[in-house]
Every structure is written in structure tokens, then in C-alpha cells.
Amino acid sequence: MMSSSREEKSKVGYINKRLAEVKRDNLPAVTPGYRIQAGYRGGIGLQIIVDEAVLTREVIDNAIRSFLAGDMPLSGPGNRQ
């Protein structure tokens, strides 16, 4: 059975309200670093985590330089180097 449009709007409104509360009251800790992601079609992937409010080209360039210099720690469990 399909939900009505009113029910869907109510659910979306609730989710958006809760997301705003979590962002305001429970900011997650950000641990800068990198993760190796195996299984990409073209090879191995790399995820870089930065602790910045806004992601800019400068932030990305600095993170890549830090990774290439070996100054960035491995982040999260289950990652292999």
C-alpha cells in the first residue's frame, strides 16, 4: 500500500528536523586521515577525510599534498596499506 503525500511530507519533515537537531547538538568528531578502498573497477580508491567547515580547492590540494608527503595518518579500522 502506498503512503499518502501528506504522510510522506510528514516523514520528510520529521527527518529534516531531526537532522538539524543532530547537527546542532551532536556534532560528530572528525578524524582527519585517509582510507584505502579496494574493489574499484579501475583499481584502488583513496578517501581523504579533512576537518574543515567548507571543502574548497585549496583544502583538497593541501590534503593531497599532505597524503603524498606521508604526513596523513591512516583513518578507521579495517584499512590496509
Residue 10 vs residue 8, higher pLDDT: 10
Nine-digit cell string for 21: 537537531
User: What phi and psi, each to the nearest 5 degrees, are found at residue 46?
Assistant: -135, 125
pTM of the predicted model as reported, rounded to 2 decimal places:
0.57
- Residue type at position 11: K
Is 38 domain-assigned?
Answer: yes
Is 62 domain-assigned?
Answer: yes
Domain enclosing residue 16, as ranges: 5-69
Is 41 domain-assigned?
Answer: yes
Give me the number of domains the chain comprises: 1
Q: Tens digit of pLDDT for each residue in 20-79?
A: 888 788 777 888 999 988 887 888 888 999 999 899 999 999 999 999 999 999 987 655
Q: 81 falls in which pLDDT band (50, 70, 90)?
A: very low
Is 74 domain-assigned?
Answer: no
Is 33 domain-assigned?
Answer: yes
Residue 9 vs residue 21, higher pLDDT: 21
pLDDT at 63: 95
Is 79 domain-assigned?
Answer: no
Is 45 domain-assigned?
Answer: yes
pLDDT at 34: 94
33-40 contacts at long range (C-beta below 8 A, 24 or more positions apart): 33/72, 33/73, 33/74, 33/75, 33/76, 34/67, 34/72, 34/73, 34/74, 34/75, 35/74, 35/75, 35/76, 35/79, 36/74, 36/79, 36/80, 36/81, 38/80
Is 78 domain-assigned?
Answer: no
